[in-house]
Structure 1
Amino acid sequence: MHIAGRFHCVYTTNRCLCTPNVLYNRIALFRADHGLSRRDLAEAVGVNPQTIGYLERGDYKPSLDLALRIAERFAVPVELIFSLTPSHRWPTPCVAKEPAHDEIRDPGRGRV
């Protein structure tokens, strides 16, 4: 077993299995957009709040099950949260937000 560039490689009898060392994520961005604390998200997906912190910092890679539960909580495809490429290349998430009460207008009277 050794590290080859950005990949962690394990050699078996006739092949090399390589996996990326870095898994980028946008958990903190989605949490902020949805107004969730780490504790709120942790409770929603069934893990310890520290796990969410480890994931956000890149100290821990989620299992497939956990990645899917996180994506399901935000109602987006898992690829919008996790990627093998840095986040600056990803599209910005579209999170529909309800207007604040003072932004709601009655067409004939102005603000409600």
Structure 2
Amino acid sequence: MPVEQSQLHNHDGSLTKLLHDIPQEHEFLMAAEVFSQLSDGTRLRILWLLCHSEECVNDIAAAVRMTAPAVSHHLKTLRQTGIIKSRRLGKEVLYTLEDTPKATLIHKMVDSIFEINCGASR
């Protein structure tokens, strides 16, 4: 919803530029969806693991002490948000962090939260 210039106090003029550059509402909704997906502690644990290694569902399940079907559900959600990717290796599917600026930023954010200086942070 556009803000009329007459409604702005705009003390130093910077607000007018910000309002010109502000992302569209749907872009904020997409960002909120990514953060929503990361608000699940288990999903965040899985993501942390995949930021640092490439793993199959069974190894992820063992690492986070969950069943493979439960882990698969979380992996599907993370893949749909574009944070992780998968590749087939024989009969197994391996998962790791996606090679995108968004995934890299999330990796750095997660490592910062846990105060980890990781060599894998791109």
TM-score w.r.t. the length of structure 1 is 0.30
